[in-house]
Structures are given as structure tokens and as C-alpha cells.
Structure 1
Amino acid sequence: MNYKDPSRRHRHHFLVKRLEELETARRELLLQLEELDAQKNAIQLEFNELQNVDAPISSLPDEVLGMIFETGVLLDDLPKSQFATLVSHVTHSWRSIALTTPRLWNTIFWDLGRQFLPEDAEEIEEPLRVALSQNLQKAAEIASAFLSRSSSAPIDIYIRHLRLEELKHGGADLARMFELIHTHFDRCRYLCIQDADRWAVEKTAEKICCRPAPLLRSIDLGVNIFWDSEVEFVPSTSFLPCGTPRLNTAHLDWIKVSFIHRNLHAFRYLQSLRLVCFIDNENDHALLAKALNSMRALDYLELDLTEEVPDLPALTQSTIRFLCLRINQNHHGRATQCFQAVSLKTLAIECELSESEMGFDLDGSSQAGFPLLQHLVLIDITINRLELGAFASRFPQIRRLTCQGYDPGFEMGHVLDAMGAGAIERNPASAAEVSLHWKKLHTIAVSGPNAALGVPESQTASQLNALQAASIPAPRLGVPDSQLNHLVATLQAAGIPIRRLMLPPAFITHADGGMMTSLRKLVEVEDFSLDWPMPFEYSEQFGGASVNF
């Protein structure tokens, strides 16, 4: 710029030079800051490394750190499906150990969620198709990462919410997921396909279960009857065609009897079976009978059977020692006589409904069908339907009686009173009649609804501890339980050789001291225990866990 005034021209040159000097100084400062940041980062890294070296976990072997992680992800209050999130919040070295510990990545969760695609639609709307594709792609990516990190370790596979519609429209993305699982199926230790329609269960099983499964120990196949498809599945190959030498536990929920019969080779060596099924024709009943008789190693059976056909022959099984029975019959059949097990030692009967509503007819020959029965377990029995006389007539040779009440106020006193203790006190002449029943009964166990079959004792104990921690009052002792010593003495005098009572821990803790002292002089007193096998406890460990990929 041409300044006419020399002083302004001089000032202009001065300012330009000063701006250049300041810009140069600024650049130098930025370079110095970058250098200082670099030095700080290097020093911080060295400091962190030294701190990690002296950290308490640095002295632990990698194997121990891996075991700590494995224990942590199995805690009840942390679903294993959240493990990846947990791993991202630990130190780098510990995270590296976790990523290279195969057993921490051996559980594959695949949950399609509730897509609710339209039924029987040849085409679906683009947004639904894109959402399904993205869901399947993400599931495949996560499954691939877990399968890779699990190396050669045995794997557990959980698949939920599959329907015919998802399988029809899944395309290449679904095929990739099936291929991933199929490729690694020889490492499968536990397989769960639940909350699916029948077609999807059988199709999925066919797709992924056609390789040898030398490690497979347990399967859980379940149909959601509210989603069930009317489409009949036509198999192209059998389920687990290469045999399953180690498969000893199966939970089959609303699976067709024809599927079980068609694949008897897979279930031949079962030791524990939980079966929920529907019988609406004589052919299915015959197939079920044949299937049960072919399982020569079966020791434990839970049978929830709905029958629509009256007067069918009794189902028989010669090896089981533990049977949990729930028979729903619409033709007033004799539920306790529809099954015969000559080796049975323990029988559990679901009693939430009344005997007549369930079809239970306790008449008939004494202990027919269960000649070796020693332990009778009555589940969800109610106070107002505690008709033990019928059970005593039907099963007179038992040595143990366990009653798990449906009512919160269910107590030992109600059971002893129903056995005749109250009647004898009111009318001593009735003692002779009572003494005719249960001449071998020496142990009685009673609990409220918290100790149902399938609930581990540790869980029941934790519930009790939680109530105590919350300062919730102890259960109120009813009048019958305040006089247990008198009721026990009355039954012993009537000829029932009671030697042991098993009571809820809360009752033992809060009962009257004098009454308990008197009671212990008559019988042994122990904490309540079902003394029942828990073959499905492993499968129920993650029963509520799911991952919506």
C-alpha cells in the first residue's frame, strides 16, 4: 500500500515484521508442546509399565488370572452374555490374557430376538429384510470371533427365537451362521435350541447336527407352542447321524414323539430326560413307549404328558430310579397308573391342581407299578387339598415323604395333622386306623414354595439370606408348628416310626427353643433338602441369559 505519510508507512512495516515474529514464536511453541507431549507420553508409558510390574496381579500366573475371569463370568448376577463388556474394562495385560484364554469364549449365544416377520409371506418389506440381514451379519461376526478365540476348547451353543419366517428369508446371511456352527459342531458339548417353532427347531438341528459330535453331553430342544408353525418338516437326514456316545442328558420340550422315535440312535445312551409332549393318537403313544424302552441307561425322567386318548396302556421303563410325573388327561384317566417303573426309588408328583382336575386316581392295587418305591415327593401341594390318606393307601411302603407346599404358609404341622395326628388327639381310638398306613415311614421333609424341583439349594439359601439382610420378619409360626413335638409323639405312638424331620432353616432358627429341645429328643432335626438329582442345573445356569446381536 502506498502510504503518503512516512510515519504510517514506517508503522506498517513494523507491524508486518512483528506479526511474522509472533507467528514464528507461535510455531516454535507448538513444536515445543508437541515435543513435551511426546516426552510426557513416553514417560507415562514407562511409569505405567513400572506400576503394572508392581501391581498385585502382576505376581499371579496367567493361568490364575484366566481362572479369575472364568469364575467372574459365572456369577449369578452377571450373565455370561455380558462377558465382552467386562473384558473391555480391565488392564491391557489382563485383557490380553482373557483374549487368549479359550475357555472364556466357549459359549456361543445366538438370539434373533422378536422379529415378528409376517407369517407365510413370500416377500417381506425392505426395512424388515435389512434389519434381519444386519441381525444375522452381526451374529455371525460375533460368533466367528468367539469360535476363533475358543480355539479347540469344547463349546456350548445357545440358539433362541428362530421361526420358519426367519429361515425362509435369512438367505446367505443365515447360511453363513449355520455353516459357522456346523463347522465347529464336533467341539459342541451342550446344544440349546429354545423358543422356536417346531419347523425351525428341526430344520436348525438338521443343518448344524450332521457332523460327528464326540463331546456332546447335553441337548435342550424346545418348541414355543405359541409360535408353532403348521408346516410339516420333512427331514432330509437324521438328527446326529454319526452317533452321540457321550450324550446323557436331554430336555425335549413339545418336540413331536415321531422326531424322538426317528432319531432313537441319538438318544440311546440317555441317563436323564426331561420330556414335555402331547399325545393325541394311539400311534404316538406306542412310539413313546418304544422310545422309553430303548433307553437302557435312563436313570432320571421328568415327564409332563398331555393325553387326549383314554384307556391307553401304561408306559413302562425298567431302569429309572427317579421319576417326576405330571399327567394331564381329559378323560379322567388314572395318572399314577399310566406309568410303571420296576426300579423306581423316588417318585415326585406335581400336585398344584387337585387330584380330580389332574386326572389322578389313587385307587387301585397297593404301590402297583412301583414295587421298590421308597421316597414320595409331592410338589406344589396345597393346604386345603392335603389328602394324604389317599397317598398312604396307594403308596404304603414308602420310607420318606417330602412335601413342597404351594401356599406360602405351608408348614410341617399341616402334614402331620393330615397324617392323622390331630384326629388321634381328638379321638385316641382312631390311632389303630392310622397305624395301618406308612409303617416304614421314618423321614418327613416339608418346605414352602421356594424349594421347587430344579431350584438349587444354594439359590434357596441366598433368597433366605436376602430376606434376613432386608430385615423382613421371619415366617410366622402357625399353631400346628408350635406343637410339633406333640404331633410327632402322637404319630410315633400310633405306629409310624418317624425318626427324622427336615424343616426350613428359617423355622429352625426362629422356632421356640423349648419346643425344639423337646422335638430333638424324639427325632433328628435337619435343614430341608429335596435330596433330588439336578441333571439340568447346568442348562438352567444361563436359562435367562440372551444376547440380542
Structure 2
Amino acid sequence: MADAFASLAPLEEHIKQLQGRKMRLLTEVEQVEQQILLAQLKFATLSNEAAPISRLPDELLTSIFALTRQEDTPRSKAFQVVASHVCAKWRAVATTTPLLWSEIQVILTFRNAKSKAEVDTELDRLNAYLTRSNSCIFSLKMEVIGNINLEPFLQLLGLQMYRCQRLSFSISNHSSPVSQLLHHFGSLEAPILQHLSIHIPYCRLFDYDTRQLDLVRANILQGGAPALQFLRVTGIAGHLQPPLSRLTTLHLDGSHMDGLSFEQFRDILQSTPEVINLSLNDLWVETPVISSPQISIPNLRCLRIRARPEYDLHSLLINLPVTQLESCAMSQIASFRPIEFTNVKSLTLEHCSLIPEDVGNLILGFPAIQSLTLVSGNPSSILFALGYPGTPIWWPKLKLLFLNDLFVRAIPIFLDAIHNRQATETPLERLYLDRETRKLLRSKKNLEEVNALLPVENHEDSSPWPAGLGYEDEDDGFWY
């Protein structure tokens, strides 16, 4: 036993020596790995510098980044973020190009904001965009789903409102969106803000203020918004009102609003004397029985409107100055009683299935039509009138016809209408068809027949409203 214990000491010493050697080798391996990483980094840097694109001046690379960024889609990862992770040069150029960070999107949902850490990450992201956009004019779209703390986001945004040009909020399933927006934006000044969209759908989980459109004075942006031209309020956002006097485009959506008195509706419209474009969706206005317009909007030229099926739209229309309109779009209209739109040259009908008597009222009510757009619905009665082979020729000034989502059963009457119309003294000059309609006619071997009668061009209904807006309005839910 004594001999056995005596032999343990050398072995213990040997183990310690081996462990020491292992530690030295591991340290050496770690040092070598660091040297490899440094060498790889230097190699990659030299390789990038040797690449032809690295010889481009920073100004030219900036222009390329800006052009590439314009091709971003809603589902793609932001190009500026991807570019900043490619190499040191690209990161330096990307992070110091303010225009790359001027289109900001904040998304807070149950999925990406489950914890405070995740919310803080999104807040840091907003701060990074605002910092990198520097003093550049920016646009921001904020989408919130859930009862998430908005205070730090609104506070951060409020500090930068002096350079915000377009602002969009969509806040749902939240306990206090209106009060928070009032608190943070009540007294703010927005000197260059041109576009403001606020969508707050009703949520039965919370108690909301039911007052809508009951003010004719600003309760947000009271510091001034002299450049504000476009305003959209939907849902329970009707209680939020910026300065209205300079608006040229107003969109009111009453999908979640209580009924409005005629006085409320009249006062809100007449507080926007410069409005040219008016969009009304699902509003329920208690209108008086009258024989002449009661609402004065001297500059109104473009109207689009959709009403609930059970609402008497005629009683609303006769209170509006429709004789001064030049463009009109109506959606889901089930009937049309006599009323004169004497100067409307462009008419859009979406999901409007009218009986022949109503079609007659429509034709007589819009005598100056030059452009007609038919989207979905059953256009058979309208097409029949359009190509009526006898006299009088209905809509004699009509030159352009746009067709979207033509049904199979409407093809025969459509073909008859085109044949008959082209045989008159006032034929159509051009026909525009969307992709699905072209595909349908091609499958029935009718597209060449139509092409032989008049020029046919491709048309996809993706134009922003109003015409000439100049940018994509992703929040426009009128057609959906």
C-alpha cells in the first residue's frame, strides 16, 4: 500500500504538467484563431477595395443605393440595412446618406413586441433611422396592433415633427390611442407636414369616446400645420382634428363612426374651403329633405363615395355641390335616382349593379362623360346602353373605356356593345383592359376581334387617388 501511494505523486505531477500544456496550447489556438480572423478581415477588405465597384466615388455609390432602394417591396428587407452590412465602405456610405433613411416604418405587433426588450429594439431602430436621416425631410408609417406602450415612440417622433412631410398611424386593439395622440401632438407644430392619415378601428375590448367630427377647430398640431393638404381619418379617429383650412384632399371613413348630424357633416366640410378632392366611405349622415345643395365647397372638383346598402345616398348627394364636379367615383351603389352631374368628365363605377331604369338616370345625370371605368359588379345594363344600336347615342362624348374584372357571362353583351358603338358616329377612341380581362378574352378567342375594332391597351387599377398625388398611398382602403 505504501508503494502504491508513493507512485501517485509522480502521476499527479504529470497530470498537472499535461493540463498546463493543454492550457498553453488552447491559448495558442485562440491566438491563432484571432490572427486568422484578422487576416481574413484584412484579406476581405483588400479584396473589396480591389473590386471595380470600390473604385466608384462615394457620390456615385450613393446614387446607386438611392436607385436600388426605390425597388424595395413591402416584403423585402430594407435595402439600406442590407447595404450597411456588406462591407465597411458600403456601411460608411449607407449610414451617412440621409435620403436612404428618410422613409421610416415602425411595426409593433403581438409578434414583434412580446417583451419590453423587443419594444426597446424597435424604439432603437426608430431612433437610428431618425438619426441617420439627419436633417433630411422624412415620412413615417406607424402600424400598431395591441395594447403596446406608445409613449416613447410618440415622444421621439414629436421632437422631429419639424421635418416630417408624411405621417401615417394605424393603431388597433389599443386601449388609449386617441388620448395618447392628443397628449403628444396636441400643441405641436408641423411646418412641412403635407399628408396625415390616422386609422383607429373600433375595438369592443375598450371604452372609447364616441364623439366623432364634432369639432371645427384643431385639437392636434395646434402649433400650426400650414402645408397640410391631405387628411384621412377613419374609425374612431374622427375626434382628432388638425388645422383644416389649407386641405385640398379630405378622406372621411365612417366604418366605425356613429351617425353624424347634418350640421356636423356640413360644418366639417365647410371648414375646408380649399378642398378639391373629397372621399366619403360608409358615412351615415342624417340629411334634411331639400331641393338645393346646402353645403358650400367652392373648389370641390373630385368626389368618390361609397355608402352602406341601406343608406339613402341620394339624400346626401343633393346636399353637395355636384354640378361643379369634374370627376366622380361611386362604389357599391345599388340604385341611382335623378340628379345632375353636368360637368363630370370622368366616371368610375365599382361593384355597381344597376337596373335599366337606374342606368337611364345615370346616363341622363352624367351627360358630359368622356372617360368611363367599370370595375367588377354586373356592367351588362351599362354596356347595353353604351352600345345601343338606335338613337339617341348615349354618352356621345365618351372616348375612353376602362374595364376591370369582366365576368364571363358579360362577354357577349360587351362584344355587342363594342361592335355597335364603333359603328356609330361617335366611336370609342381607346379601350383599356386589366390583366384578368385580357386573359379571359384571350381564352375565349375574342381579344383579337376587339383589337380589330379599336386600340386596346393594358391597364391595372393601381393609380393613386387623387390623380397626380405623386407618391404611393398604402393606407387608401377605399376600394377594399
| Counterpart contact for 2:102–2:138, Cα < 8 Å | yes
SS at match of 1:158: strand
| Counterpart contact for 2:102–2:139, Cα < 8 Å | yes
Task: Answer 1 or 2: higher relative contact order, Cα 8 Å, separation at least 6.
Answer: 1
Question: Which residue is 2:327 aligned to?
Answer: 346
Name the CA shift for 1:144/1:439 in 2 (closer, same or farther; >3 Å).
Answer: closer
SS at match of 2:283: strand
SS at match of 2:271: helix
Task: Give the superposed CA RMSD.
Answer: 4.5
SS at match of 2:307: strand
Structure 1 residue 106: deviation in Å? 3.2
| Counterpart contact for 1:249–1:272, Cα < 8 Å | yes
| Counterpart contact for 2:104–2:141, Cα < 8 Å | yes
Question: Which residue is 2:202 aligned to?
Answer: 225
CA distance in 1, matches of 2:451, 2:338: 36
Identity of counterpart residues, as a percentage? 21
Structure 1 residue 290: deviation in Å? 1.8
Are 1:208 and 2:140 matched, yes or no? Answer: no
1:460-500 C-alpha deviation (Å, 9 max, x unpaired): xxxxxxxxxxxxxxx9696517x83x543433556654333
Structure 1 residue 343: deviation in Å? 3.5
| Counterpart contact for 2:188–2:224, Cα < 8 Å | no
Question: Which residue is 1:376 aligned to?
Answer: 347
CA distance in 2, matches of 1:23, 1:256: 71
Are 1:326 and 2:297 matched, yes or no? Answer: no
Q: How many residues align?
A: 461
Are 1:417 and 2:384 matched, yes or no? Answer: yes
CA distance in 1, matches of 2:179, 2:103: 22
CA distance in 1, matches of 2:288, 2:277: 26
Structure 1 residue 324: deviation in Å? 0.8
Name the CA shift for 1:326/1:202 in 2 (closer, same or farther; >3 Å).
Answer: farther
CA distance in 2, matches of 1:214, 1:42: 50
CA distance in 2, matches of 1:112, 1:39: 42
Name the CA shift for 1:477/1:56 in 2 (closer, same or farther; >3 Å).
Answer: farther
Are 1:526 and 2:442 matched, yes or no? Answer: no
TM-score of the pair, normalised by structure 1? 0.68
TM-score of the pair, normalised by structure 2? 0.76
> Which range is displaced more, 216-225 or 379-388?
379-388
Question: Which residue is 1:267 aligned to?
Answer: 244
| Counterpart contact for 2:80–2:100, Cα < 8 Å | no
SS at match of 1:381: coil
Instruction: Pick one of 53, 56, 60 that aligns with 1:60.
Output: 56
1:515-540 C-alpha deviation (Å, 9 max, x unpaired): 76665565333333669653578464
Instruction: Pick one of 167, 171, 192 that aligns with 1:191.
Output: 167
Name the CA shift for 1:76/1:541 in 2 (closer, same or farther; >3 Å).
Answer: farther
CA distance in 1, matches of 2:443, 2:11: 99
Question: Which residue is 2:262 aligned to?
Answer: 282
SS at match of 2:401: strand
1:153-181 C-alpha deviation (Å, 9 max, x unpaired): 22223334478x76xxx5xxx54433222
Are 1:246 and 2:227 matched, yes or no? Answer: yes
Structure 1 residue 229: deviation in Å? 3.5
CA distance in 1, matches of 2:324, 2:176: 36
Residue type at the aligned position of 1:393: L
SS at match of 2:99: helix
Residue type at the aligned position of 1:253: T
CA distance in 2, matches of 1:291, 1:81: 42
Query: Comparing both structures, which one devotes a greater share of its residues to helix?
Result: 1
Give the unaligned 5+ runs of structure 2: none
Question: Which residue is 1:104 aligned to?
Answer: 100
Are 1:395 and 2:378 matched, yes or no? Answer: no
Q: How does 1:19-34 map to 2 (within 5 A)?
A: 33=29
- Greater Cα radius of gyration, structure 1 or 2: 1
SS at match of 1:49: helix
Structure 1 residue 379: deviation in Å? 1.2
CA distance in 1, matches of 2:151, 2:125: 15
Structure 1 residue 284: deviation in Å? 0.9
Residue type at the aligned position of 1:150: S
Are 1:502 and 2:432 matched, yes or no? Answer: yes
Structure 1 residue 37: deviation in Å? 4.1
1:439-466 C-alpha deviation (Å, 9 max, x unpaired): 32233221217xxxxxxxxxxxxxxxxx
1:351-383 C-alpha deviation (Å, 9 max, x unpaired): x3522xxxxx4224xx2xx33211211112349
Instruction: Pick one of 371, 375, 388 that aligns with 1:404.
Output: 375
SS at match of 1:253: strand
Q: How does 1:349-498 map to 2 (within 5 A)?
A: 349-350=330-331, 352-355=332-335, 361-364=336-339, 367=340, 370-382=341-353, 388-406=359-377, 415-419=382-386, 421=388, 424=389, 431-432=390-391, 434-435=392-393, 437-448=394-405, 479-480=411-412, 484=415, 487-493=417-423, 496-498=426-428
Residue type at the aligned position of 2:199: G
| Counterpart contact for 2:349–2:375, Cα < 8 Å | yes
